[in-house]
Amino acid sequence: MIVVKTAMEIGRIRENGALVAEVLDRLGEAVQPGVTTADLDRMGEEAIRAFPGATPSFKGYNGYPASICTSVNDEVVHGIPSPRRRLEQGDIVSVDVGVHRNGWHADSARTFPVGEIAGESRRLLEVTEECLYRGIAEIAPGRPLGDLSAAIQEHAEAAGFSVVRELVGHGIGRHLHEDPQVPNYGTRGTGLRLRAGMVLAVEPMVNAGTATVETLEDDWTIRTVDGSRSAHFEHTVTVTLEGSRILTSAMEPVTGAREGQGAREAAPSAARA
């Protein structure tokens, strides 16, 4: 069932989204050679819990053991932070953060370079983030969801990359994962019609090689079967009467009720994921 949120409820999600953006900013500054993914997890949890009443959305979710997801190189999503996973020069790492506070969730992800990265990896990050904003630009009341999905797929494949099909974006609100599913591939003019007040987690997952993925023995980490690198960018977005509004971007103060930045105002700086 798709739950349409009220303006007040969207404001609550927006407050949490600003917190998510701040945590990702801090973690992005911490990403450097020599840092372990467990270090990032510790920093992320501390940053989230520094805000009264805020908790990590992911910790304990269906048994997930950490506060954030850290997926390195060929890992697509759901990588479990580990003290044994030390970032190296030239790696890329997707950092996925969710925050729960006052009964509402917000969710966002970015893929960061570790120091200087090779040209193809840099292009993969750029294209995947562009896919995110191209998808968001298609959001407006009355538009079919397939337009969003197709925009992501078209841009990724035109660049010579592939879109993961086993994992999709999702609705979000009282629950971390709600209806509808938001695929990163599709056909224009198809799918449900978007309505003002819907809140979606849009999250392209784009691979440099094959689109096919597999789940590791930890039952969480998903990686590409051919070892190619993968990038992941995500925003929580609401459908407005005018189009769309990103809820996981920075705002001041974090505890305020101001609305977020519209998709046309935002510029690129990335089963459900």
Give domain limits for the chain. Answer: 7-246
Residue whose C-alpha is closest to residue 140's, from 243, 213, 237: 243
Q: What percent of the chain has pLDDT over 70?
A: 92
* pLDDT tier at 251, thresholds 50, 70, 90: low
DSSP string, 52-90: TT-EESSTTGGG--SSSEEEETTEEE-PPP-TT-B--TT
Mean pLDDT of 20-31: 98
Q: Which residue has the tokens 């197709």?
A: 150
Confidence band for 272, pLDDT divided at 50, 70 and 90: low
Residues in the chain, total: 273
Asked if residue 160 lies in contact with residue 190, where contact means CB atoms within 8 angstroms, the answer is no
CA–CA separation, 268 and 127 (whole Å): 10
Q: Tell the residue number behind the tokens 């992800």, with chain if given.
A: 109
**CA–CA gap between residue 220 and residue 59 (Å, rounded):** 13
- pLDDT band, very low/low/confident/very high, at 273 (cuts 50, 70, 90): low
pLDDT surpassing 80 at residue 259: no
Nearest CA to 112 out of 167, 73, 56, 162 is that of 73
Quote the pLDDT of residue 152.
Answer: 98
Q: Does residue 55 have a pLDDT over 50?
A: yes
pTM: 0.92
Name the nearest CA neighbour of 152 among 171, 170, 168, 173.
168
Band (61; pLDDT cuts 50, 70, 90): very high
Select the more confidently predicted residue: 140 or 262: 140
Confidence check: pLDDT of 31 > 80: yes
CATH number of 7-246: 3.90.230.10
How many other β-carbons are positioned within 10 Å of the β-carbon of residue 11?
17
